[in-house]
Amino acid sequence: MKILVTGGAGFIGSAVIRHIIQNTEHQVLNVDKLTYAGNLESLISVADSQRYQFSQTDICDRAALEHLFQTFKPDAVMHLAAESHVDRSISGPFAFIETNIIGTYQLLEAARNYWLNLPKELKNKFRFHHISTDEVYGDLEGTADLFTETTSYSPSSPYSASKASSDHLVRAWHRTYGLPVVVTNCSNNYGPYHFPEKLIPLMILNALQGKPLPIYGNGQQIRDWLFVEDHARALYKVVTEGAVGETYNIGGHNEKANIEVVHAICTLLEELAPNKPEGVQQYKELITYVTDRPGHDVRYAIDASKIKKELGWEPAESFESGLRKTVEWYLSNQEWVEHIQSGEYLSWLEKQYQG
pTM score, whole prediction: 0.93
Active-site pick, 32, 58, 87, 134? 134
Secondary structure class of 5 (helix, strand, coil): strand
CATH number of domain containing 168: 3.40.50.720
First to last CA, the chain: 51
The enclosing H or E element of 216 equals strand 213-216
In a domain, 279, yes or no: no
195 found inside a domain: no
Catalytic status, residue 25? no
User: Is 294 inside any structural domain?
Assistant: no
What pLDDT does residue 87 have?
85
Domain total in the chain = 1
- Evaluate whether residue 340 is within a structural domain: no
Residues in the chain: 355
The verdict on whether 345 is a catalytic residue reads no
Choosing from 32, 83, 87, 135, the catalytic residue is: 135
State the catalytic residue, choosing from 159, 190, 216, 330: 159
In a domain, 149, yes or no: yes
CB 305 within 8 A of CB 173: no
Residues 6+ away with beta carbon under 8 Å from 242: 127, 129, 182, 248, 311
Coil/strand/helix, residue 272: helix
Query: What integer pLDDT is reported at residue 294 of this predicted model?
Result: 86
CA-CA distance, 309 to 305, in Å (whole number)?
Answer: 6
Which residue ranges in the chain fall short of pLDDT 50?
A: 355
Q: Is 215 inside a domain boundary?
A: no
In terms of residue numbers, what domain contains 45? 2-188+228-252+301-316
d(CA 31, CA 58): 8
* Exposed e or buried b per residue across 186-207, where buried means at least 16 C-beta atoms within 10 angstroms of its C-beta: bbbbbbbbbbbbbbbbbbbebb
Task: Verify whether residue 135 is a known catalytic residue.
Answer: yes
**Could you tell me which of 218, 352, 350, 211 has the C-alpha nearest to residue 286?**
211
Main-chain phi, psi angles of 167, to 5 degrees: -60, -45
In a domain, 82, yes or no: yes
The answer as to whether 290 is a domain residue is no
Contact partners, residue 108, CB within 8 Å, separation at least 6: 128, 169, 170, 173, 179
